[in-house]
A and B are shown apart, each in its own frame.
Chain A
């Protein structure tokens, strides 16, 4: 694996100023190097639970440069280095994470990457599937405060061979407005980038899941109104597969355009559709369904 080209030719010692951050995700090593204390701090807060020491060459290498009006993110471990830009910290984290996830997905075609929050209930994973802005992260934060262990609020890479869900425990990301209602207040360690709030995993009231665990239940979350009393109905594997497919990352990279993988995952799990409402009631609805599901 080729190491990143050092910009230090132009500015000696440029990237030696700060210690590289090493992350581990789905068995891949990621190195992030930066000349910016701010960028390092954002990366540290966002990815603290993914920090990992490894002896092999990293699979992905990023170099972050802070410039006058934002950040430049350079992925430099391929024959064709990619340069991305971000205007502010929220965009920086978004752009970096998006690229990192896409590149990891390319390197792990045996995993089906679902846009879903993933939590653990009695050592079995359950997913909250919803489109962006559908309340995954907020519901996830509520569930974490009721003892569910955290894998991710955003991404559920699922191994097709054995339906194990890999954790992606980045800082839980909420939009700044509205803040979660009582009793789900934000911890003081929350990073506020302006448009987004990032709750570092160290501030969670539960442990972070750091190894793959088996998938058990899938909830497709649909938010209609805060006035609605939450309800849940069991749906068929076919219906769930269609919804999973719509929330898959790059499904076309899989055989038969990724349809079989979505179906196989749905067949492996119990599938529900939950119509959400106020956070405390939605959390209670999901926990109640999990409890009933386990008893059957």
Chain B
């Protein structure tokens, strides 16, 4: 999975604001969710991302796996992600 190509993303002091123009909804991600978001490149697995989260935030790998899976599931529910075969990521500025 990777961020949908047609959403507008802006990073702010480690957090992320996402504008989904198709639904008119704004989403804000805290620092941890933002980190996960930026790992979603269509290549890394949940386990890969969880290892990165574990290292970055100094949390237990088991906890990280559970949290990463939950965050990605939530992003999926909000339809912020697309399948890996898409060619481009979201339009982002920092």
The interface of chain A, by Cβ under 8 A from chain B, is 236-239, 241-242, 245-246, 256-257, 259-260, 262-263, 266-267
Contact = CB atoms under 8 A, between A and B. Distances in A.
B21 A267 contact: no
A260 B12 contact: no
A80 to B, nearest CB: 28
Contact of B15 (A237, A245, A246, A256): A237
Nearest to B26: A242
Given A256-B91, A257-B21, A246 B26 contact: yes
B19 A257 contact: yes
Nearest to A243: B26
B61 interface: no
B47 interface: no
Interface of B: 8, 10, 12-13, 15-17, 19, 21, 26-29, 91, 93
Given A238-B28, A242-B28, A262-B17, 20 more contacts: A236-B12, A236-B28, A237-B13, A237-B15, A238-B12, A238-B16, A238-B17, A238-B29, A239-B15, A241-B10, A242-B27, A245-B17, A245-B19, A256-B10, A256-B91, A257-B19, A259-B8, A259-B19, A263-B10, A267-B13
Tell me the dominant secondary structure on chain B's binding face. Answer: strand
Given A238-B13, A242-B17, A267-B13, A257 B26 contact: no
25 contacts: A236-B12, A237-B12, A237-B13, A238-B12, A238-B13, A238-B15, A238-B17, A238-B29, A239-B28, A241-B12, A241-B28, A245-B17, A245-B19, A245-B26, A246-B26, A256-B8, A256-B10, A256-B91, A256-B93, A257-B19, A259-B19, A263-B10, A266-B12, A267-B12, A267-B13
Contacts of A256: 8, 10, 91, 93
B68 to A, nearest CB: 20
A236 B13 contact: yes
Contacts of B29: 238
A266 B28 CA distance: 13
A257 B26 CA distance: 12
A259 B19 CA distance: 7
B78 to A, nearest CB: 14
B1 to A, nearest CB: 22
Nearest to B16: A238
B59 to A, nearest CB: 21
Nearest to A237: B12
Contacts of B16: 238
B13 A257 contact: no
Contacts of B19: 245, 257, 259
Interface centre among B8, B17, B27, B29 (most CB of A within 10 A): B17
Contacts of B91: 256
A256 B26 CA distance: 13
Q: Which 6 A-B pairs have the closest CB atoms?
A: A238-B15, A238-B12, A242-B26, A259-B19, A237-B12, A238-B28
A4 B59 CA distance: 69
Contacts of B21: 257
Nearest to A239: B28
Contacts of B15: 236-239
A262 B18 CA distance: 12
Contacts of A245: 17, 19, 26
B8 A257 contact: yes
